[in-house]
Amino acid sequence: MRYYARKLGFYLVALWAALTLNFFIPRLMPGNPVDTLLAKLAQRGGTVDPSARRSYELLLGTDTGEPLWRQYAAYLGNVLRGDLGVSVSAFPAQVTEVIGQSLPWTIVLVGIATLISFALGVTLGTLAGWRRGSWLDSLVPATTVLAAVPYFWLALILVLIFSSSLQWFPLFGGYDTYLPTGWNADFIGSAIYHGTLPALTIVISSVGGWLLGMRNMMVATGSEDYILTAHAKGLRDRRIMTRYAARNAVLPSFAGFAISLGFVVSGSIITEQVFSYPGIGSKLLQAVENSDYALMQGIFLVITVAVLAANLVVDLLYGFIDPRTRVTT
Amino acid sequence: MTQHARWRRSRTAVVGAAAVAMLAAGCGSGGNGGGGGGNSGPADTLVAYTGQAGDYQRNFNPYAPTMIEGPGNIFEPLFFYNVARDGEPTPRLATEFSWNDSGTELSITTRENVTWSDGEPFTAHDVAFTFDMVRANQTMNAIGFEGESEVIDDTHLVVRYPQPAYLEAPSVLGKLWIVPEHIWGAFEDPAQNTVQEPVGTGPFVLGDFKPQAFTLSANPTYWGGEPAVKNIRFVSLSGNQAGADALAAGQIDFQTGPVPDIHNIEKNYPGYEGITAHIFQIALFTCSDTALGCSGPQTDPAVRHAIYHAIDRTQINTLAYQDTAAEISPGFALPGRDDAVISDGLTDRIAPMEPDTARAEQVLTGAGWAKGGDGIYAKDGEKLSLSVRVVSGWTDVITAADTMTQQLKAAGIELTVQQSSWNEWSDARGRGDFELVFDSLYPGPAPDPYYTYNYFFHGDNTAPAGEVANPNFARYDNPEVNAALDALQQIDPEDTAARQPHFDTIQTRLEADMPYIPVLIGGTTSEYNARKFTGWPSEDDLYAFPAVWQRPDNSQIYLNLKPAGGE
């Protein structure tokens, strides 16, 4: 029990540290929301009367003149109450509303892509590691090359081939905007159709890592005594591969997977840029470009909590699976 | 500046993206005949891309800086002022306006037989309500409106000012969007209301809304008759590159922004045409006044003049702007539109397009600068070395600045390009933390150079370095210019003879002091689907500033378009 209490305590401290950083880091950035907004308005539509500055300062409430420590205290209090404030770039929408609108898209897209990538990488890695020296080994350099290619370039090339030239996939967007939004077959179908190519790019660029890790673990596990014993018992090769070797080899990959699930929330900013996908990554970019502190803090908070939660789950599961980690020395 | 805006999203992707875009354009026309308008929906639906990145947040409050659409299309102004060419304003919700002799009383006649889109009649009371609301809510008063309005009858009202306010007319008549009293009167805080279901008098009403796209539909009861364009769809894309891709695929009908190979739009995008308008005056803003805390070689007017003479504008135009930029006047009146007011007192009516290095060196030598062993001028041990701030990722600006670096080197001036993020750049520009900054002067609410002069050259709109200037970033404070600008406020703009001496003063002072070193007038290029719609503005008939994001100019364009019926 003490083990779990200690873990939870540690995560609470980590959460507080992350919240504090979330508060201060955006404020260290140069610029302020009003000047950014004015510069933007001046570019788009030309006329910005000098009176506009005062007016927007008052509207956005950026000119409070409150000392930083008081803002910090108010911020911590608001976070505890689930009030993340008002977004400046989407004024007067609540940050929670902005995040709520975009988060599901990212979770589904990047989540499914990560899942597919992991499953595919581990399966292929198992086979490649088990039959090392066979043609499957050539997958390792092939996929790592794809992982090494700059992601935005790969994505742009795929857009060029499959969307612009062949027109198999839509060029942009997360769904067909002509369809009524909701849980109906047409809309979900269009969402899947729109998400396929972005998901494909993520899978292609990340499958290499899982494959390589799994293959190397399989090679190491393959030389263990219990594998030799299993062979000596006359078990079927297939059974040894899946039940004896892969099960042990997958453990480190699985820990990595749990952590990468936490990062799903932070989305894939470039994916969302290239495909004009309506996810959290594009919101984060919008927040940074507009000095929208509240939205930045909100998104960082969601990301932090997701990563910490994933880590916590892994930690707790490890304590359960491997009792040695619970022993205090 | 406009053009900068359009490039900036591309960021790191831009290098690869430019090549890909060209390939895409090529493949489009080679593959299956390209877009040509077949893909962008029904024949009477216009698909517009305003540069919106990411999802739309539903906000149709025309006074919110974050509103997504509305001014002109849903909520109308009283008049439409066309900043693209000199001329009288076009009546919208009002039919006439006049000033009293002293310029303190503005009489407005509103249009009869206009109804709100919910069926209620529109009257002068709605106008007075809107004016009072703006005046009462400082958070909505982006134009500094301080007139007192009084309704005479249902179609007449007067606005009274404490002092002559001739030059306020364009912002009051052209930039205040009239809202219905019977709905807005009940809003507790009109500045913060997002007006989810807008009711206006405009030619369009809100149709369908989704975060990725929304539709404005023709208003069947519009006072000017139902528009021929039945629907306008606004889509959101991630930026420049996505916009160019969508254009190549024929999925959007109207967007503003440069595309690769801009002079061959008709060839690369079958069915599409392009139009370029010139209104944003590109200049090197200098932190010019030591009295206001500026430091560096650029505080010496001779240095500013030397740069003015040393740059090769033709080369910059070709290398950085695909030859879309135009000649600029050192008095900052727009050649073409403001020809009548360009001063005869100017040494150069138009800034020379070709460099004159000898002249530049002569100016520097005359001011006591001497060439050092490294070919760079110096004075009192200070080297003539300047830095220019640009935004990273704005490829056209960076190219222009790099080109200037080479050109100025030939004249013995060292220029270093300092790239920073957009936020950092706008912050530094505001606080005067720069030697030179690459930026543009924007126009006012009417085709009158007074507004640009007042915004950027009046001492009231500047601040000492360290404080935020708004928007006289060059820290230019010249009593003569201030007095001329103040005098202009007292004069009826119709009285051109009385105005000209003041315009002469301002322009000649600007040329002599050169706090803003004129470079070129940036071209704002829009691409539109000419096969699907007719009635677009053209260089001969610039009835509105042709940019998809310019409000309410875009509503004039949408009103003027007709489905071509060909497809």
Residues 6+ apart with CB under 8 A from B102: B164
Average pLDDT score, chain A: 83
Tokens at B204, concatenated: 């369009």
- Eight-class DSSP state of A290: T
Q: Which contiguous run of DSSP H or E holds residue B520?
A: strand B516-529
**CB-neighbour burial class of residue A24 (10 A; exposed 0-12, middle 13-18, buried 19+):** exposed
Report the chain B residue with the minimal C-alpha distance to residue A291: B423
Residues on chain B touching A154 (C-beta within 8 angstroms): none
Strand partners, B285: B437, B516
Confidence of residue A328 (pLDDT cuts 50, 70, 90): low
Q: Is B189 on the interface with A (CB under 8 A)?
A: no
Q: Which of A92, A156, A167 faces B194 most closely, judged by CB atoms? A: A92
Residue B476: closest CA among B486, B487, B466, B465 = B465
* From B53, B55, B142, residue closest to A55, measured CB to CB: B142
Of A79-83, A237-241, B457-461, give the lowest mean pLDDT range: A79-83
- Give the mean model confidence (pLDDT) for residues A153-160: 86
Partners of residue B422 in chain A, C-beta under 8 Å:
31, 36, 39, 289
Is the Cβ of B19 closer than 8 Å to some Cβ of chain A? no
Instruction: Return phi, psi of residue B214, to 5°.
Output: -140, 165
Is B107 an interface residue toward A (CB < 8 Å)? no
Helix (H, G, I), strand (E, B) or coil at A300: helix
SS3 (DSSP) at A263: helix
pLDDT band at B34 (very low <50, low <70, confident <90, very high): very low
- Please name the residue of chain B whose CA is at the shortest distance from the CA of residue A269: B238
A133, pLDDT greater than 90: no
**pLDDT category of residue B13 using cuts at 50, 70 and 90:** very low
Q: Do A273 and B13 touch (CB under 8 A)?
A: yes
| Domain annotation for chain A: domains and CATH numbers | 1-81 (no CATH), 96-291+310-326 (1.10.3720.10)
**Angular region, B468: left φ>0, alpha ψ -120 to 50, beta rest:** beta
pLDDT value at residue A148? 84
What pLDDT score was predicted for residue A42? 77
pLDDT digits (tens, 9 = 90+) for A18-71: 888 888 887 777 777 788 788 777 777 656 788 888 888 888 776 666 788 888
**Residue B430 contacts A, CB cutoff 8 Å:** yes
pLDDT of residue A59: 80
Give chain A positions within 8 Å (CB) of B144: 49-51
Please tell me if residue A226 touches chain B, with a CB cutoff of 8 Å: no
A186 to chain B, minimum CA–CA distance in Å?
Answer: 16
- Minimum-distance CB partner of B139 among A44, A58, A273: A58
CA of B103, closest CA in chain A: separation in Å? Answer: 21
What does the pLDDT average to over A221-246? 89
Residue A156 is nearest to which of B13, B233, B251, comparing CB atoms? B13
Task: Evaluate if residue B445 carries a pLDDT over 70.
Answer: yes
B18 vs B384, residue with greater confidence: B384
Average pLDDT estimate for B335-347: 93
B232 three-state secondary structure: strand
What is the number of CB-based contacts under 8 A between chain A and chain B? Answer: 209
pLDDT of B23 > 60? The answer is: no
Under an 8 A CB cutoff, do B12 and A44 touch?
no
What does the pLDDT look like over B385-439, one tens digit per residue? 999 999 987 888 999 999 999 999 999 999 999 998 888 898 899 999 999 999 9
Of the listed ranges A134-143, B1-10, B399-408, the least confidently predicted one is: B1-10
Find residue B521's DSSP bridge partners. B281, B326
Distance from CA of B16 to the nearest CA of A (A): 7
Which residue of A43, A47, A160, A271 to mutate against B (max B Cβ within 10 Å)? Answer: A47
Interface touch A31/B249, C-beta < 8 Å: no
Residue A164 sits at the chain B interface (C-beta within 8 Å): yes
CB contact under 8 A, A278 and B32: no
Q: Is B410 touching A (CB cutoff 8 A)?
A: no
Extended strands (E) in B57-203: 79-80, 90-91, 94-99, 105-110, 148-153, 156-160
| Digit-coded pLDDT (tens) for B254-303 | 999 888 888 899 998 989 999 999 999 999 999 999 999 999 999 999 99
User: Which of A47-56, A290-299, B126-135 tops mean pLDDT?
Assistant: B126-135
Shortest distance between the Cα of A148 and any Cα of chain B, in A, equals 16
**Cβ contacts of B47 within 8 Å, gap of 6 or more:** B40, B41, B232, B233, B235, B251, B252, B253, B254
H or E stretch at B371: strand B370-371
**Is the pLDDT higher at B178 or at B57?**
B178
Q: Touching check for A298 and chain B: CB below 8 Å?
A: no
Q: Is A328 on the interface with B (CB under 8 A)?
A: no
pLDDT, averaged across chain B: 88
Token digits for B344?
């005869």
**Contacts with B57 from chain A: Cβ below 8 Å:** 90, 93, 98
Give the per-residue pLDDT at A321. 64
A167-206 residue pLDDT tens: 888 877 777 777 777 778 888 888 888 888 888 888 988 8
The answer, for A156 touching chain B at a CB cutoff of 8 Å, is yes
